[in-house]
Amino acid sequence: MKPCIRGGVTVPSTEQNAPAAILARALYDGIGDSALPDRIIRFEAGTITEVRPATAQDARGAALPEFDVVTPGFVDLQINGAADTQFNFDPTPEAVARIAAGARQGGTAAILPTFITAHGTDYLRALEAVRAAQERGIPGILGAHLEGPFLSPERPGIHDPSAIRPMDAQDLDRLTAAQVGRLLLTVSPETLPEGALARLTAAGVRVFAGHTAASADQIARAEAEGLVGVTHLFNAMSQMTGREPGVVGATLASRGLHAGIIADGHHVDWRNIAIAARLMPDRLCLVTDAMLTLAGTTTTFELHGERITRSGDRLTNATGRLAGAHVSMIDCIRNMLDHAGLGPAAVLKMAAANPARALGLGDRIGSVQSGHRATLTCLSQAFEVTGVMIDGDMQDGTAA
């Protein structure tokens, strides 16, 4: 199977042009507010060609693969690792493939492998690994997420403070020339050089604010220059107070900013998650922020010289500081259903349609409709993952 370029993103092409189809007993299409019963989804050459109600004639015809629940393929904007592989430790196309495969166990079809703050220009190795992975046709790689090193030293979180630094002219040249499909760049906008954000945006980089001490006014100015979202809402950012909304308040009040949120029960109080979900139902994006422990056997590892330990589904350093997450996308979805007061259609949009729009890819992925890529997540009635399809191909190890 040879890779091809579709919409600026490398995807596998298929040697077969024969159409195929599946039957969804309940389809959450990423558009409506409820499930559509008994839908036939047909696709050809990796693209959805038809979505229609099933008929009696379909029942008399050849048997179709059948799934209890079908949704647009989940999209994870922030995943640091999985399957005993951490992208920072091993920025190679092989590592990207392992992380993507680990993410699929939680229903995620498309990822941005996330490379966090590292010294100097180490981020270039990550960009090259993603580019190579796309050229090889590794499925589900939409681009790359660089979380740092251009962050606020006031809000490092678990990132290495010694590697946080300002963006310079050479960085700007390299980032605007990156060829990785979609590049999501997390920065502290208040530390960027004058004009940098506008230039990044003009080059197609999707800029998020994160690990930032910015004021609400600084976020508003950044949004006017092209800022499109914030990384892990509530975490490592200025908070909302009575007279200073901070990054959190600016995001909740915005009409356009998207926000990733980690719905694991550790990073954000469920009441805050419920508030965000009510205020920004079309802008909130579930992210895992997963580390190498997800879908792996690792329980302890070193990060920036610190020992990180997994206890249950919580990852912390010796002082109890959170160090990424141990949660899958389907876990996040079930958590939202249990704690955020939302129905399935709204929550599933936060795992697919909203992140697709945050990347500017809402016309290709994130909903199940004719002309969109045949990238789907299939679930049981109990919301357990039974299959992940990427560009018309059901991925090994995910089918029921």
d(CA 352, CA 365) in angstroms, rounded, equals: 8
Selection from 50, 47, 53, 49 nearest residue 35 by Cα? 53
CA distances from 20 to 14, 59, 380, 392 (A): 12, 16, 21, 8
Task: State the DSSP H helix or E strand holding residue 130, giving kind and residue range, or none if neither.
Answer: helix 123-135
Q: Is 122:82 a contact under the CB 8 Å cutoff? A: no
d(CA 40, CA 58) in angstroms, rounded, equals: 9
Structure tokens given for 326? 């141990």
* Number of DSSP helices (H) and strands (E) in the chain, helices first: 11, 22
Phi, psi of 145 (to 5 degrees): -120, 120
The active-site residue, picked from 264, 289, 331, 391, is 289
d(CA 285, CA 287) in angstroms, rounded, equals: 6
In sequence order, which residues have a C-beta less than 8 Å from that of residue 285 and are 6 or more positions away? 75, 77, 229, 258, 259, 260, 261, 350, 351, 354, 355, 358
Q: What three-state secondary structure class fits 245?
A: coil
Amino acid letter, residue 49: T
Phi, psi of 387 (to 5 degrees): 180, 150
Tell me if residue 289 is catalytic.
yes
Q: Is 230:245 a contact under the CB 8 Å cutoff? A: no
How many C-beta neighbours within 10 Å does residue 281 have?
Answer: 14
Selection from 386, 381, 356, 383 nearest residue 368 by Cα? 356
Task: State the DSSP H helix or E strand holding residue 353, giving kind and residue range, or none if neither.
Answer: helix 353-358
Structure tokens given for 45? 């050459």
Structure tokens given for 312? 């249950």
d(CA 40, CA 154) in angstroms, rounded, equals: 52
d(CA 385, CA 104) in angstroms, rounded, equals: 9
Residues serving a catalytic function are 289
